[in-house]
Amino acid sequence: MNKKKIVYIDMDGVLVDLQSDIDDWLKTHSDEDVAKYKDNHDLIPGIFRNPKPIWGAISAVKKLHESGKYELIVATTAPWDCPESNTDKRYWIEKYFGDLFKKQMIITHRKDLLYGDYLIDDRLANGSEHFKGELLHFGYNHETKQYNSFPDWYSVLEKLL
C-alpha cells in the first residue's frame, strides 16, 4: 500500500484573499480607524472571518483531495495578539471546505517543525523557508512586488497531479 504524501497548505495569501479584504476595510472606514490599525492590519476586528478565497483555490484543493495521493492539512499562522483569529480561521475553513479539513488544521508560528512532503505558502516567515520538505512558494509577494515560483493554483496542480 502506498503511503499518501503530506501537503500542508497555508491560508492567508494561499487559500484566502485576505489582502483584498484589508484593502476594502481601509477604504471604507474612518481615518481614525485606519490610523488605529495602520501598523497591524491583523488586529482589525473580524478581518479573518469572511474574506474571499484566492481564485482557483477551492477547486484546486478539492482536486488534490480527490486524487487520493495526498493527506491535506491546513498549516496557518494566526496573530498572537488576536486570539479570535484562530476561531475565525476555523470557521472560514468549514465554510468553504465542510469536513475536508476536520481535525486537519494546525495553527503554528513554527512551520519549520512540521513533518511532511510539501508546504504551500506565500511567505518565507514563521519557519516556512526552513520547512524540511519541499516549499511550493506560492502567489504574489507583496514585499518584493513579484510572483513567487508557483504563481497560482494551476502551477501547483501541474506540480502535484
Report, as residue numbers or ranges, the catalytic residues.
10, 12
Q: Which three cell numbers stand for residue 152?
A: 497560482
Do 47 and 22 touch, CB atoms closer than 8 A?
yes
Do 30 and 67 touch, CB atoms closer than 8 A?
no
Q: Which three cell numbers stand for residue 68?
A: 487520493
In angstroms, rounded to a whole number, what is the distance separating the alpha carbons of residues 119 and 136?
A: 6
Q: Residue 75: what are its φ and ψ, rounded to 5°?
A: -130, 105
Which residues pair with residue 147 across a beta bridge?
140
